[in-house]
Amino acid sequence: MATGGYGNTPKVGSIDTVDVVRATDEQLGQYGKADEKISQLEVPQLYDSADPHARIFVAMFDGTGNSLANDPDNPTNIGILKEQLRRVSEENPSIQGQYLEGPGTQKNPLTRTLDGATGYTYEARMEKMYEAFQKQSAKWLKEDPNAKISLMSTGFSRGAEQAAGFSRMVHERGITASIEMDTTIPKEGSISRALGAVHKGLGKDSGLPEPEAKPPLRAPGSIPQSVVLYDPVGTGMPNLHDRHLPPSVVTGMQINAADEKRSAFPVTNNIEQGVSDDGRFLAVTVPGAHSDVGGGYKLKALSDRAFNLATNFYNKVLGHDAIRKVDISTDPDHSVIHDSTQHKIIYKKVEERGVINLPTREAVDPVLREQYPIKGKSDVTPAPQTGPAQDKPETRSAQEGVPVRPDPAAISRGTADRAPEPAQVKSEAPREATNRAAEPAPAKSEPAREATNRAAEPATAKPEPQRETANRAPEPAPVKSEPPREATNRAAEPAPAKPEPPRDATNRAAEPAPAKPEPQREAANRAPEPAPVKSEPPREATNRAAEPAPAKPEPPRDAVASAVPAPATDGKAEFAKAIKAAGLELKEPPIMDGTLQRVPVAGRAPDNRDGAYAGHLDGKPHGHITNFATGVQQNWSMNGVPLSDKEQGRLTAHGENARQQRGAELSEQYNKVSTRTAEKLARLPDTPPAQGNAYLERKQIDAHGVKFDGDKIVVPVRDIDGKVWSAQSIRPGEDEGKTFEKGGRRSGNMHVIGDIKPGADVLVSEGYATGASLHQATGKPVVVAFDARNLDAVVDSVKSRHPTNPVHIMADNDKHSQQNVGVEKATAAAAKHQVGIAFPESKTPGKVSDFNDLHVREGLPAVKEQVDKAVARSVEQSLERATSVARSQHGEGVEVKTPTPDSKHTGPVTAVSGYHAVQAVSEKAVVVHQLRDLPSVPVPNKPVTIEYQQGRAQVTERAPDKPAQPQR
């Protein structure tokens, strides 16, 4: 454990469910030193924004159990990058990317557990990423045959290992023509199907079809690449694949966690610690546990620092500051190191399995290594060695900039320093072999041998057929064993091999000794082996009947066993435990007659019925559970026993029935609240009491369409059509909070200040006070969304009703909070809907989180100035994007024009981007129109005439030209 680890400083809390310790000033200073090293790197620039042919694809692989969709409020650093890249790609189509959630994020609890333990979807996820990269590259090359495509791969934990493996995949394949391949990542299904995927992934065959051989669009090894790896961990499936960085990776960075328990998560040194000789590669170790580097905790000041380190590197590769640094909390209680060993029992399990680090710090799982060989061979030749493998550090080839390592498989077997041994004649105990042909009768086996640093065996040793070779050709079926027979009755047979003597690891010569039995080994996915040459004493034929059938196959002896609990006997009791674990309350044993039962959810009003379940006792006990309060739905079966198709279909029907029933209940509930709220608003006055309203006075705003209920203001919550669905009550005190009508509908609903006229700018804010300040400062209509998480739905509603109006999100910047939800949600909504976004900027010290804070601190003129600049900037950026799209469609030499007040233009609209539409008026000219000047959004690829009169346009469809009629 590095200095400053657990126990060296006082615990400061456990908001993330584990103990934490505050990082010391000395530890935090290591980030500054790492930043200095990054600034000194000679990073090749893989993308040049000034080059019209430049393109770059960013491949993002999240870590085990991490999913931005499943946990959007606690993203890892890969999730944060994904959200930022969405903004970047909208602004610049030449920068695109793909995000993949991490292993162990499936909905099915069994496959989720299995994937989390073994990472069996390693190959499928890389294939899925390659498919996305291939499609995007093909699109770029279609637009520009001279496109210069580069690749940046980044990941966290096992996702970092996928990033490294993906770089090798692209190096070996290049960019191929379109191929058809099943890249589905298993999400649902029985444990048997999941085990099948593990068997395919760990054995010789990954289970994925080989790509069809087609001429490459870009040759293998021709794509310049870079990598950024957050604390890469290869435990499980990744360790059985080659993740050495290939020569086409010309630069890279790795950030390791100094305070992680490495028995559970051994780091892989894809990049050697320090700065490489050529100055292009860097690996640093910084304070923190695994997720303190990769992100995902609530107390995330350390992972934010790690993200900013990576951001410096990202932007060096991109040639400009495309990725924004995140704000780091100044609260020392947020800069903490987490005790990750308190998370799960996986630490204990991994230690029991004997997972170790090689001298390269690469993780080795002996259970998996014993059963399955390493898959694939590196094209990197190990450096010559004269001493023990563990004394040879990794070096970097000056010509290729590639790590050169001893073969990890050889190190794990202790054979890295010796020449290949001749194959030995085996004599071994019977083994279980699920997927191989019938084996001969068991021969007496040799004892286990140590092989570390052993010299080549003397010539007296008989050759033994090599086993578990990843890519060997099919072998003949083994010869069945049989009792001794007279030579006159059988064909000539080779003489039996002599029994091998016991040998140790100290280079001593062979000594004759009887062979001892070898313990049984599992070989579930091993390819067929030839019949071993047996050495056995004569046995009486009367005592040797026909050999018994091979033992039944068993699954691998890894985390699969822990994924399936021991059998239970009481189906109702087990189902009740699952129901309660899902947050539902039960006052009596569950009813398991197949009917849908509604029950309360714990922690809510006593009369709530926000939970549902349906159970069956026939066949295998199984059921469906839904928690409407959290949105979680799950299927359950006794002891994790896989369900039949009929049972699975029945649970699917239960889930659909529950959703429909819940939908009907919510519809009825929303309508009741709507009626009640509308009646309440009709009774309330439109003006405040004579003494005024403290909230309006404190916020320095006026009443805009609100009601008053004593000292509270009441803001109606309406849909885009003006129907009331709920109301927000705001008390005067700063800390008294805001409440909504219980049970009312809020999603997609809003409060509008001012009139939305055709073509007018529409501002969208979170809160009422912010909206009022924006309207009073600019006179523009403002739509209040009430909550950052509602911005997406509200912008969608506004654009659906007013598709030509420019929409601009005036976001809150909660930079003083632990998590900046305002920025995250506003950025995501702006990127999704191609609308503008702005944040308040204050010239004076103090907390300014929204435009009302700016109003109160600096006045309405400051608000107007910032809004006007933001709106103009958004329109300008939209015009630039539309121009770029026009040139990519029609060529760099196309003339790009804008309309005049009384002009007329005819031709097809070829693209709609942001606030603009591109119309091709000739082969060499396009006109870029502002949507705000049009009565509707033109349909792409339809010929139209757009005619302006005093700045406003009319759009008419132009009939296709009729062919000329021949004259008679």
- Spatial distance between the Cα atoms of 663 and 188, rounded to a whole number of angstroms: 25
Structure tokens at 564: 């399936």
Q: Which residue has the higher pLDDT, 185 or 27?
A: 27
Q: How far is CA 153 from the centre of its chain?
A: 13
Position 213 pLDDT exceeds 80 = no
pLDDT at 259 (0 to 100): 84
Position 253 pLDDT exceeds 60 = yes
pLDDT at 311 (0 to 100): 94
Q: How many CB atoms lie within 10 A of CB 474?
A: 8
Highest mean pLDDT (candidates 372-381, 538-547, 632-641, 768-777): 768-777
pLDDT at 198 (0 to 100): 47
Residue located via tokens 């709507």: 674
Q: Are 212 and 135 within 8 A, CB to CB?
A: no
pLDDT at 14 (0 to 100): 56
- Spatial distance between the Cα atoms of 676 and 560, rounded to a whole number of angstroms: 54
Question: Nearest to residue 63, comparing CAs of 293, 273, 345?
Answer: 293
DSSP per-residue codes, 251-270 = EEEEEEETTS-TTTS-B--S
pLDDT at 735 (0 to 100): 60
pLDDT at 843 (0 to 100): 79
pLDDT at 510 (0 to 100): 37
Helix axes 122-143, 191-202, angle to 10 degrees: 70
Position 910 pLDDT exceeds 80 = yes
Looking at residues 747-774, what average pLDDT do you find? 94
The single-letter code of the amino acid at 164 is A
pLDDT band at 866 (very low <50, low <70, confident <90, very high): very high
pLDDT at 307 (0 to 100): 95
pLDDT at 816 (0 to 100): 62
Q: How far is CA 274 from the centre of its chain?
A: 28
Q: Which residue has the higher pLDDT, 358 or 938?
A: 938
Out of 28-42, 187-201, 919-933, least confident range: 187-201
Position 698 pLDDT exceeds 60 = yes
Structure tokens at 681: 């608003």
pLDDT tens by residue, 159-179? 999 999 999 999 888 888 654
Q: Which residue has the higher pLDDT, 489 or 783?
A: 783
Q: Are 950 and 902 within 8 A, CB to CB?
A: yes
pLDDT tens by residue, 440-471? 444 444 433 333 333 334 444 444 434 333 33
Residues 191-217, buried b or exposed e (16+ Cβ, 10 A)?
Answer: beebbbbbbbbbbbebebeeeeeeeeb
The CATH number given to 893-957 is 2.40.50
Position 437 pLDDT exceeds 70 = no
Out of 767-781, 875-889, 945-959, least confident range: 945-959
Position 545 pLDDT exceeds 70 = no
- CATH 3.40.1360.10 assigned to 684-878: yes
CATH 3.40.50.1820 in the chain, residues?
34-334+345-371
Q: Are 400 and 266 within 8 A, CB to CB?
A: no
Q: Are 795 and 829 within 8 A, CB to CB?
A: yes
Out of 284-298, 609-623, 810-824, 826-840, least confident range: 810-824
Looking at residues 843-847, what average pLDDT do you find? 75
- Spatial distance between the Cα atoms of 382 and 157, rounded to a whole number of angstroms: 26
Q: Are 851 and 773 within 8 A, CB to CB?
A: yes
- Spatial distance between the Cα atoms of 461 and 931, rounded to a whole number of angstroms: 84
Q: Which residue has the higher pLDDT, 327 or 179?
A: 327
pLDDT at 519 (0 to 100): 39
pLDDT at 608 (0 to 100): 81
Looking at residues 833-837, what average pLDDT do you find? 91
Q: Which residue has the higher pLDDT, 856 or 371?
A: 856
CATH 3.40.1360.10 in the chain, residues?
684-878
The single-letter code of the amino acid at 936 is S
- Spatial distance between the Cα atoms of 293 and 156, rounded to a whole number of angstroms: 9
The single-letter code of the amino acid at 573 is A
Residues 493-532, buried b or exposed e (16+ Cβ, 10 A)?
Answer: eeeebebbbebeeeeeeeeeeebeebeeebbbbbbebebb
Q: Are 850 and 813 within 8 A, CB to CB?
A: yes
Q: Are 148 and 175 within 8 A, CB to CB?
A: no
Task: Classify residue 221 by its DSSP letter.
Answer: T
Out of 134-143, 447-456, 591-600, least confident range: 447-456
Averaged pLDDT score across all residues of the chain: 73
Question: Nearest to residue 241, comparing CAs of 131, 185, 167, 174?
Answer: 167
- Spatial distance between the Cα atoms of 252 and 271, rounded to a whole number of angstroms: 8
What percent of the chain clears pLDDT 70, i.e. is strictly above it?
A: 67
pLDDT band at 921 (very low <50, low <70, confident <90, very high): very high
Mapping DSSP to helix (H, G, I), strand (E, B) and coil, where does residue 714 land?
Answer: strand
CATH 2.40.50 in the chain, residues?
893-957
Return the CATH class of domain 34-334+345-371. Answer: alpha beta
Decide the pairing of beta strands 363-364 and 356-357: antiparallel
pLDDT at 697 (0 to 100): 92
Structure tokens at 43: 């990073």
pLDDT band at 42 (very low <50, low <70, confident <90, very high): confident
pLDDT band at 655 (very low <50, low <70, confident <90, very high): low
CA distances (Å), origin 84, targets 81, 299, 315, 836, 867: 5, 21, 13, 15, 22
Residue located via tokens 């398991």: 592
Position 836 pLDDT exceeds 50 = yes
DSSP per-residue codes, 61-84 = EPPTT--TTT-TTS-BHHHHHHHH
- Spatial distance between the Cα atoms of 514 and 500, rounded to a whole number of angstroms: 7
Q: Which residue has the higher pLDDT, 58 or 847?
A: 58
Position 748 pLDDT exceeds 70 = yes
Position 727 pLDDT exceeds 50 = yes
Q: Are 174 and 495 within 8 A, CB to CB?
A: no
3-state secondary structure 588-646: CCCCCECCCEEECECCCCCCCCCEEEEEECCCCCEEEEEECCCCEEEEEEHHHCCCCHH
What percent of the chain clears pLDDT 90, i.e. is strictly above it?
A: 32
pLDDT at 372 (0 to 100): 34
Q: Which residue has the higher pLDDT, 965 or 44?
A: 44
Question: Nearest to residue 37, comparing CAs of 268, 243, 271, 249?
Answer: 271
Mapping DSSP to helix (H, G, I), strand (E, B) and coil, where does residue 655 land?
Answer: helix
Out of 99-113, 206-220, 246-260, 457-471, least confident range: 457-471
Q: Are 106 and 124 within 8 A, CB to CB?
A: no
pLDDT at 852 (0 to 100): 93
For residue 110, what are the contacts with CB-CB under 8 A and spacing of at least 6? 190, 191, 194, 563, 564, 640, 642
pLDDT tens by residue, 749-762? 999 999 999 999 99
Tell me the backbone φ, ψ of residue 155, rounded to 5 degrees: -165, 170
